[in-house]
Amino acid sequence: MAKVYFHVDLDAFFASVEQKEHPEYKGKPVIIGGIPGDRRAVVSTASYEARKYGVHSAMPLVQAVKLCPNGIFIRGNYHHYAEVSQQIMNIFHKYSPEVLQMSIDEAFIDMSGTERLFGPFEKTAMKLKQEVFEKTGLTVSVGISSSMYVAKIASGYRKPDGLTFIPEGDEEKFMLSLPLEKLWGAGTKTQERLKKCGLKTIQSIYEKSLNYLIAIFGENTGTFLYESVRGNKAMNFYREVKNHSISAETTFEFDLTDKDAIESALMELSLSVIMRMHKEKVRTRTVAVKIRYEDFTTFTVQETSEFPVANADDFFERCKRLFYKKYQDARGIRLLGVSADNVEKKDVPVQKELFDFGNEKKSKVEEAIFNFENKHPELKIRKARLIKKSK
DNA sequence: TCTGGGGTCCTAGGACCC
DNA sequence: TCTGGGGTCCTAGGACCC
């Protein structure tokens, strides 16, 4: 049975939400990510008006301000964007029970076999676009293909408010018509390597044998290149649910050198991760710390213990130990990060520590705090150290 | 221009075991 | 005394994505 996938992409999502909610921003360059004066912010989303000035995602904010001094700069309300996103995902679910959300602003919809119910796919996609617009005032771009990979690329073919249908059998023709930059999954590094090998177009990759590509780029990337330029790249709709990771990191406005400030930052990051772990009802045995120095060199340290992290104190102590294992004294710290890797559901039984020095009790107290904060988000309970710090 | 924050997946090497 | 082959788990770094 033939498969048909929609890939739906919300156009300049965060900026569009702001423009819709502030009509005075309509038709104006809106830039999400920071406000002038933020030293180390980057652009998260630029409205189409802002893109005309050369502003784009991931660009340092300082540069965006130079290119577009009269732009409307907004730090962004990600919590709110997530709510709007959810509203739109709910609309997708009316078209098919199989919706695979890829991020806050895009999703695949498995539309296989819905033709009898809804009619031709292009018409259905038009209807979906219409419905999203009526309910949220936002536009989306849709790609349709029997290949998820091709659908993903097709949704970016005409933007914003686009609709691109690649009939079955035309995948290869479509891929070959694209510039190399559109090859999703081959980033800056791979693009550079390709160009060094004289492979400057998708067509030129297409002309190489699988063996050649593997010899140059390795098994994985080689096979990826060979399959993707043919539109054969398989992506799995039903991905197995694996243990994931929960992390938090901060880039400081000014480099950190003070031990107290560093430890407070580690504490804050630890709390943020541990609270999210409580929320998800998961635990971890693997803790990692990330340090980025002023010159952007970055190190990570990670440790897997026999026993899961017992509570926030335990988590913080592990982070601190890892930090000092890597820390090069006297270097300014630009970024600190902590993460809980490979988290697993708490309901899976685990070996208990032989001597449980009140860890269980601490953990219970934390959960109580977490539940309290959940009910009263306006009242934040912080560790003494942080309260002292913020005075 | 001077490079966010949240993730996933891959690679290569080492330890350890059978 | 020189040295296999496979598997699993762990660590550090890196590519990539939105």
Nucleotide nearest to A247 (CA to C1'): B6
**Which residue in this structure is represented by tokens 């602003």?**
A105
The pLDDT score that the predictor gives to residue A141 is: 98
The pLDDT score that the predictor gives to residue A390 is: 43
- Whether A334 and A292 have beta carbons less than 8 Å apart is answered as yes
Distance CA A102, CA A111 (A): 16
Nucleotides of B under 7 A from a protein CB: 1-12
Distance CA A108, CA A127 (A): 16
The pLDDT score that the predictor gives to residue A391 is: 35
Residues 260-319 of A near strand B (Cβ < 7 Å)? 272, 276, 295-296
The pLDDT score that the predictor gives to residue A160 is: 97
The pLDDT score that the predictor gives to residue A33 is: 97
Residues A245-293 have pLDDT tens digits of: 999 999 999 999 999 999 999 999 999 999 999 999 999 999 999 999 9
A106 counts as catalytic: yes
Q: Å from A303 (CA) to B14 (C1')?
A: 15
- For A240, A244, A273, A285, the CA distances from A345, given in Å and listed in that order, are 15, 10, 15, 12
Distance CA A43, CA A51 (A): 11
Other CB atoms within a 10 A radius of the CB of residue A20 amount to 14
**Which residue in this structure is represented by tokens 């979906």?**
A128
The pLDDT score that the predictor gives to residue A325 is: 96
Burial code (b: 16+ CB inside 10 Å, e: under 16) for A309-327 equals: bbbbbbbbebbbebbeeeb
Distance CA A34, CA A42 (A): 7
Any residues with CB less than 8 A from the CB of A331 and at least 6 apart, and which?
A: A293, A294
A304 φ, ψ to 5°? -110, 125
* Count helices and strands in chain A by DSSP H and E runs: 15, 14
**Which residue in this structure is represented by tokens 């301000």?**
A65
Active-site choice (A18, A49, A106, A268): A106
The pLDDT score that the predictor gives to residue A350 is: 65
- Whether A342 and A243 have beta carbons less than 8 Å apart is answered as yes
- Whether A204 and A195 have beta carbons less than 8 Å apart is answered as no
Could you say which residues of chain A have pLDDT below 50? 355, 388-391
In this complex, the answer to whether residue A160 has its CB under 7 A from any atom of chain B, a nucleic strand, is: no
Strand, coil or helix: A373? helix
Q: Residue A37 CA to chain centroid, in angstroms?
A: 25
Burial code (b: 16+ CB inside 10 Å, e: under 16) for A378-391 equals: eeeeebeeeeebee
Identify the residue whose Cα has the smallest distance to the C1' of B6: A247
SS (H, E, C) A104-117: CCEEEEECCCCHHH
